[in-house]
Amino acid sequence: MKIELYRGSMTSRERVLCALNRQEPDRVPVDYSSNPAVHGRLAQSLGLSLEDYEGVLKALGVDIRTVSAGYKGPRLFEERPDRRVDPVYGHVMRWAPNADGGYWDFCDFPLEGAEPEKIAAFPVPNPDDFDYDRAVADIERHYENGYAVNIGDAGCADIINATGRVMGMEDTLVNLMMEDEATLAYIDRRLDMELGIWERLLARAADKITFVWMGEDLGTQRAPMISLELYRKVLRPRHQRYIDLARAYDKPVMVHSCGSSSWVYEDFIEMGVSAVDTLQPEAAQMEPAYLKKTYGDRLAFHGCISTAGPLAYGTEAEVEETVRATLETMMPGGGYLLAPTHAIQDNTPVENILAMYRTAHQAGRYQ
């Protein structure tokens, strides 16, 4: 099931930078994300081992490599039977099986209904307790191989989700609206940690980092999740810290946001954001044609191939049709990076994944 890759005249890094600058590269850059079970089936179909993640990326012609610094500090949160406790953020998950395998789902929110004293005492790691030597070595290796390298991901910042995972979503939204002092102080401690990690990586390897990535889920399928007023008063100043740090090192910023989120794009542009990610085409005011027409001269786009559409439920021909139609809309003038809207889900046929990337290499060429 080998995909015929279009190599083109550019390195992956040149290709991604060209797209982030809203220019036409040799072909549309592509990116990849998937759940473990479907990734395993994809690797097997490509004749690769489950552990050979890099081999899968190469087989699909993926242009981007994400690097993070692993935590190596002291244990801050106790392990629990039948649960997975995140060593950095302290959120708790339980295994939720389904017909296609299963996933780890958030539960037992440790700060739900918590008093201010408990919130203030909730641990946040020291940014010194991460493995920067290994992260920098990974950055350098990917850079030498010509890939675009990013630090951060859709979960960086992510104030609503990250707080909701330890506090519960209802408490989180109420406390943000009420500007609860204890909650905001906890959020700022957590953001300080993440910014500290970014600053250490940028200080050591900025010349080899292509862009930085952060996120904040701001939309439901039909409407904003919060008001623009709340965004501007509480979240925007905190997001601006990430953007200002990246821009101090002359790095483009990509922001992930699920659902109907184009209502905040004018603010993103004012703040200095270069690209937006996810772009669920079935959500309100997220259709590719609308995004391209309204923001295409000011933002680059990463995503658009829905993991809840033909990729999961259609035929190979329908996937190819969707990818071609998306490329036809988003390619003119540059500024598009093709990717799934979210991690590809376990109910997705491997044949459809291969059709997506095969079509991207065939129909995504500018030259």
Give dist(CA 183, CA 189) in Å, integer. 10
Exposed, middle or buried: residue 253 (CB in 10 Å: 0-12, 13-18, 19+)?
A: buried
pLDDT at 1: 66
Task: Give per-residue pLDDT as tens, 122-160.
Answer: 999 999 999 999 999 999 999 999 999 999 999 999 999
pLDDT of residue 283: 98
**Residue 7's pLDDT is what?**
87
Per-residue pLDDT reduced to its tens digit, 11-66: 999 999 999 999 999 999 999 999 999 999 999 999 999 899 999 999 999 999 99
| 238-242 contacts, C-beta under 8 A, 24 or more apart | 238/157, 238/159, 238/187, 238/188, 238/191, 239/157, 239/214, 239/271, 240/271, 241/191, 241/195, 242/152, 242/156, 242/157, 242/191, 242/194, 242/195, 242/198, 242/212, 242/214
Strand 84-85 relative to strand 92-98, pairing = antiparallel
pLDDT at 320 over 90: yes
Q: Is the pLDDT of residue 193 over 70?
A: yes
Domain architecture of the chain: domains with CATH:
12-72+117-363 (3.20.20.210)
